[in-house]
Amino acid sequence: MSKVASEFQDIDIEKERKEILNAFKGLLRATKDRSREDTRMIRKAFDVAVEAHKDMRRKSGEPYIYHPIAVARICVEEMGLGATAITCALLHDTVEDTHITLEDVEDLFGSKVRLIIDGLTKIPEVFDENASIQAENFRKMILTISDDIRVVLIKLADRLHNMRTLGSMRADKQLKIASETKFLYAPLAHRLGLYSIKSELEDLALMYSEPEVYSKIENSLKSTKDVRNRFIRRFVQPIKEALQFEGYVFDIKARTKSVSSIWRKMNAKGIPFEEVYDIFAVRIIVDTPTELEKPDCWRIYSIITDFYQPSPDRLRDWISTPRANGYESLHTTVMSPTGKWVEVQIRSKRMDEIAEKGLAAHYKYKESKSEESKFDRWITEIRDLLENPDANALDFVNEFKANLFADEIYVFTPKGELRVLPNGATILDFAYDIHTDIGDKCIGAKVNNRLVPLSYQLLNGDQLEIITSSKQKPHDEWLRFVISARAKQKIKSSLNEERKTIAQDGKEILERKFKQHNIRLTAENITFLEKYFSMPSVTELYFRIAKGKIDLIKLRDIDAVHGILNGEKKTNNSTKDKHEKDVYPKINKSEDSIIIGEDFKNIQYQMAKCCNPIPGDLVFGFITISEGIKIHRNNCPNAEHLLSKMNYRCIKARWQSKDLVERVAAIQIMGIDNIGLVNRLTEIISKEHNVNMKSISFETEDGIFDGRIKVLVYDTDHLEQLMRKFEQVDGVQRVTRWDTEEDQHPQESH
């Protein structure tokens, strides 16, 4: 997070010193089972950090050293990490922000601490407008996963504290950091099994990206808290008495869903807060020896179902088959006497610690090699991703994120060995999971003794036997059949090798043609042809030539018309180059702000079609490559992508208060089909609000209608008035703002 040199005059330095020392003592108290040597190392790290950061303050005005102490405390209390991680957390910003070097760190604390600090130190911003610094930093951090997982854990602790103290930052910075957190860091925390940290990161990201939504759900949770607590007390009472009678040592907790998770459910199902049935879950934690965990959890399940009817579709057994990140628990959903479904989670004390503290606890309890492999499979996936030196940082982040989010399925080899694959995996994903050679030569498989094609999607419990042929080799279309990062990377790698061989033939063909037409073979001429045929690279140009997809008979005509291949004149810059040269230098992204309705430095800007912003919406500008600046809503479907991965191209924007131009807004109306309903809605639009309608469409199925209306309004107040009128019409159940589906996935032309 940003730091500023101290400019605060009236500060009681002595008082601050005492407070800093107290914060450090609090950290030491939280650190359990430390040796005398550990204490010495932590004290030395604290002394080095205090001295290095002595003239630095955070945006809030407090001494900077509070930040590394807070990060170290998160590592201890919320992740269960030890002395080395605490040392690194205290030092994590010293190399990046102070005179301390990596060599100094190694001299003082050894090579292991140096390795971790190096992973935590950002890449210097040698600015390339076409690369995302955030993506490069994220890639560097992930590179160290296979060396020391603590790099990622400390980085998550750092991000969590930054999010907790984000209030002192500028609004545009808050939005960018929140988007990046939601896009990358929350999924990473989830994959590492840090569920409470993942939930808090998502909640804080929502609080800054959509403050109104966050506030509304938080208030709804507060107002229903007493009713909820009374319901939970009544629900758990019979279970409690039965478990006590059986002699179990246990704890029962009620866990309320996070705000972000409630918002996700509301969005996914298109329902209001009141209709989210699983607002909370009841968790039963039993204190039992490892060998009795499984039978005891199932016995407790049996006791619960004596009182309440379970839903057969909602039973999740992660005790027999834990998730890849080590999570173990038995989940069931039962019907309460009041007609509400309630989720119940049953787990041992050991399982609960792994669920709360994730990876650190997993390794604390790890005993066997087989248990190690369950988690380390994911580390192997990451290594496979990193093996591809040609992938750029943004591609890497996309692949990595897809891997983070994937749910898992469990399949078996012919000998009964269990393999964990992402949900939606195919025969090819399985083949590459076994070995690269088996993947490259795969022609099909037998699933449960039935012959299936390469594109067959695997189901939980399938047993597979791969069929190979020495004549088989990977094809382009295989990339459509796979979803795992490992399979994609291996197929791309094989295809690239083959393409390079074919491209070499294409290069020789082009050289012969140049000689034939008496055209000079220069880099400039090759680059001209690359642009003329709109090829993304020179390798692709050669490849297409070899495949006969580029007609080289045109060479003579091109030369006659342009006179370029013989060097008579230079090519003009493309629109893209011109735009980048003209637009980027004019904009100071930290200072400038577009006021919509006024001219902005003679640079064209327009409303993005993917979210149709209207006055009153919170917005930002995105500098496109060839279409000027596009204005997006902060909660646009593309906002998270743009703000987290390409925030170096984002700029602040706000509405001019007197800007009264009509703009298109789209509304979705759902409800029960009534005669005359459409007439009533159109009457509201035309008569009561004097609003112009652009388009209207209604679909009815089984008595339920779904209407989509596009109208011209002045601002969000104007739109909300209209939506409130619609809500009052008989039969209408829900009225929401609807994002049009065009342009939902920003391409490079953005």
Residues 315 and 180 in one domain: no
Determine contact, residues 133/172, Cβ cutoff 8 Å.
no
pLDDT number for residue 740 = 58
Residues 675 and 598 in one domain: yes
Q: What is the mean pLDDT of the chain?
A: 79
User: Over 80: is that where the pLDDT of 382 sits?
Assistant: no
Residues 161 and 241 in one domain: no
Closest CA to 431 of 365, 482, 391, 381: 482
3-state class (DSSP) for residue 103: helix
pLDDT digits (tens, 9 = 90+) for 598-636: 778 778 888 888 888 888 888 898 888 777 889 998 888
pLDDT number for residue 659 = 53
Residues 136 and 228 in one domain: no
Does 561 reside within a domain?
A: no
Tell me how many degrees the CA angle 393-395-396 measures, rounded to the nearest 5: 60
Catalytic residue among 51, 55, 96, 147: 96
What is the percentage of the chain residues whose pLDDT exceeds 70? 80
pLDDT number for residue 125 = 46
Does 149 reside within a domain?
A: yes
User: CA 61 → CA 12, 53, 161, 718, distances in Å?
Assistant: 13, 13, 16, 41
pLDDT digits (tens, 9 = 90+) for 554-607: 666 565 445 555 544 444 444 444 555 556 666 766 667 888 877 787 788 888
Does 321 reside within a domain?
A: yes
What is the total count of domains within the chain? Answer: 5
- Report residue 666: phi and psi, to 5°: -115, 140
Residues 333 and 376 in one domain: no
Does 565 reside within a domain?
A: no
Q: What does the alpha-carbon distance between residue 69 and residue 686 come to, in Å, rounded to a whole number?
A: 61
Q: What does the alpha-carbon distance between residue 417 and residue 437 come to, in Å, rounded to a whole number?
A: 19
pLDDT digits (tens, 9 = 90+) for 94-111: 888 888 888 888 888 888
Work out the pLDDT band at 308, boundaries 50, 70, 90. very high
pLDDT digits (tens, 9 = 90+) for 458-506: 988 788 889 888 888 888 888 888 888 788 888 888 888 888 888 888 8
pLDDT number for residue 688 = 57
**Domain region containing 515:** 493-555
Q: What does the alpha-carbon distance between residue 673 and residue 478 come to, in Å, rounded to a whole number?
A: 46
Kindly report the pTM of this predicted structure: 0.65
Q: What does the alpha-carbon distance between residue 89 and residue 158 come to, in Å, rounded to a whole number?
A: 8
Q: What does the alpha-carbon distance between residue 188 and residue 498 come to, in Å, rounded to a whole number?
A: 34
Residues 163 and 106 in one domain: yes
Does 289 reside within a domain?
A: yes
**Residue 210 appears among annotated catalytic residues:** no
Residues 693 and 642 in one domain: yes
Work out the pLDDT band at 289, boundaries 50, 70, 90. very high
pLDDT number for residue 296 = 94
Residues 389 and 334 in one domain: no
CATH number of the domain bearing residue 432: 3.10.20.30
Other Cβ atoms closer than 10 A to 582: 12
Catalytic residue among 16, 19, 62, 97: 97
Cβ burial, residue 640 (10 Å; 0-12/13-18/19+): buried
Q: What is the mean pLDDT of residues 696-707?
A: 80
Residues 233 and 254 in one domain: yes
Work out the pLDDT band at 116, boundaries 50, 70, 90. confident
Residues 236 and 288 in one domain: yes
User: Over 90: is that where the pLDDT of 191 sits?
Assistant: no
**Residue 497 appears among annotated catalytic residues:** no
